[in-house]
Structure 1
Amino acid sequence: MKNDEFRQSACRAFNLYHSSLYSEYSDRLAPVAIIPMHTPEEAIAELDYAVGELGLKSILLQGFVQRPIPVAKGSARPAEYLDCYGWESAYDYDPVWQKCMDLGVSPAFHASGMGWGSRMSTSSYVFNHLGNFATAQEAICRSLLLGGVTQRFPDLKFAFLEGGVGWACNLFSDVISHWEKRNLNAIQRYNPKNLDRDYFDQLFDDYAPDSFKSHRADIGRALKVLSNPDEKPDTLNEFCNIDVKNAEELSDLFVPNFYFGCEADDPINAYAFNTKVNPQGKKLKALFSSDISHWDVTDMGEVLIEAHELVDKELISEQDFQLFSCDNAVELYRTNNPQFFQDTVIEDYLKQKK
């Protein structure tokens, strides 16, 4: 909703409804507050009301905001970009993250990528639906990480729901690889100013085939296309919002802070626990969070059985399944709110674990 009054009123009404409807079932259910995110101010206002006044203890934040690109204003069809609250955001959302810390809530996101890029079929829901949640969640996670949010708020936990964990394994591996090859020091290996042009020309004259030598005058232009020797130095550090000295420190900004909601029937859930493949032998924090009311669950009585098939097929261990089905979720919500599971069966479970 782009209309401020409608958006804020709708969130307020929904949170009031959830609070009144589920309050008597607090020993089994924790109703979720939805938080608008077009500006930090509206997010903080609803957090104060939903959590501070209504007492809701779990929140779902708007996954992204579509904002007009400034240069496109006034055009017949203005272009938009996705603001995911971290990298190059239009606002400083740190006050929102601080408010979450102060209130003891863990931000969760659920966003759809349908209508983005190639997911714009006019005839097929399936064509647009495939991979759309993963695409949207990856954008938010990447923005928070490269925007330095987890470094500034190391104790804050973030959850990305329904997209699975396969995309997270890919992002984790990819960002480590990019940092190792493109951090401010490593990228100097590709600095065109380090090229010995005289020696390069000599090698070209000695070894290039005749068909290449006829284009010798084009070498300078070709090299400039491949790398701009006049690039501004202050644009080179694309990890400028995070201060890490090695890949292990970068990993520490990803693994402890991010949790990934997974469907029961997704075999890719096993990737989260594959220490032979994930960088540095890490396990990602996958969560069992199946949509028992959606079309992809044909029998809601079988979701837990279906999820356990990863153990039956020896793709993960029983210990991994305990993390997946219980402990990771407990950690997500209890870290910033030790009383989250008070007066529930989970409280009894935690006492038994001590």
Structure 2
Amino acid sequence: MQDFNREISITRFFICIAIILIAAPLILLSFVIFIDPYNISRDRSHARFNAMKLEIPSSAQIGTAILSSALYQPDILILGSSRVRRGFNEVFASQLYGAKVQVTGINTLHLSTAKNIFRSVSKKTQLKKIYIEVNYFMANDCGKADDPAFDSDYLVKLFSYFPPKNSILFSMKTLRINILGPRAVDSYYDKQGRFHDLPSKVASLADAESYKSYQNNFFQNMTKNCRRNPENQADIAELTEIFKLAQSSHTEVVLLILPASPRALARVRQAEFTPTVDHWKKNVARLARQFQATLIDYEDRNDFPEPGETAANKMPLFWDENHFSNRIGDRLLGEMRTSGRAQ
């Protein structure tokens, strides 16, 4: 009888272990879905725990963009680099346009990456309009990115961008910033979708020699592979593919050259890149006209709003040399809304 009871106890023990092994991953998965740290579902019903968001890690940015578009089904996609991600407020844009707007920023977005993301998104979503950031220093003449393979089954492979450990840790960080508030080292999006990089930190960095050295090194690394050939055929080929894909999917294309800070423009002039960049812009504009697309060049704009009472207008114009704030982005969104073909 004792042996029988012992067998029952051992059986129950292994059953409990099996239940724990099955339940634990499900609980963790539910936690990640509940917090939604990558802002894929855009569910703000748990605002106390997930209204504020951290910046998405580089490794998950492409996967987040494609999975999010498949679930969110945006009408308009604004696609660009980290400047798009930090400068344009998706919540404000959706309200302003009266449509579902998705803002996607991929660090150092090359034309080849933009083309592949657009192709993947257009297979799952009927976009009415796509805005794409173009920049000479992210074009093929300055080196091509090592893009991941995109194919028809890409959605099946998306979860390789979200390793369980990384997703859980990112969820915990998102929960922490919502409960305890942002720390001095946190760049984040507030409950209204506005990006924040603490002004006190930016101001202190702007005067530091280490920051100036960092910006010098950043610019040198960005431009070291540039061949100064504005007639680069790879750029033309990839833009042509983007335009043809847009025609086949009945999507309007607007190309954006985004604002640059005075310091960034000065670096370009000092490095004697201005003639090459201007020539490259003319080539892109000429190609856009051939496909009835629009190119908007905001690079030299300096007529932006003075500080005001609204939250966005209290921000600096630029967080650093390379990233403009929502104070500029909100103005541009209003202008972009009426750009392109007649609605």
Shorter-chain TM range is 0.3 to 0.5
* TM-score (structure 1 length as normaliser): 0.33
More helix per residue = 2
Whichever of the two has the greater Rg, that structure is: 1
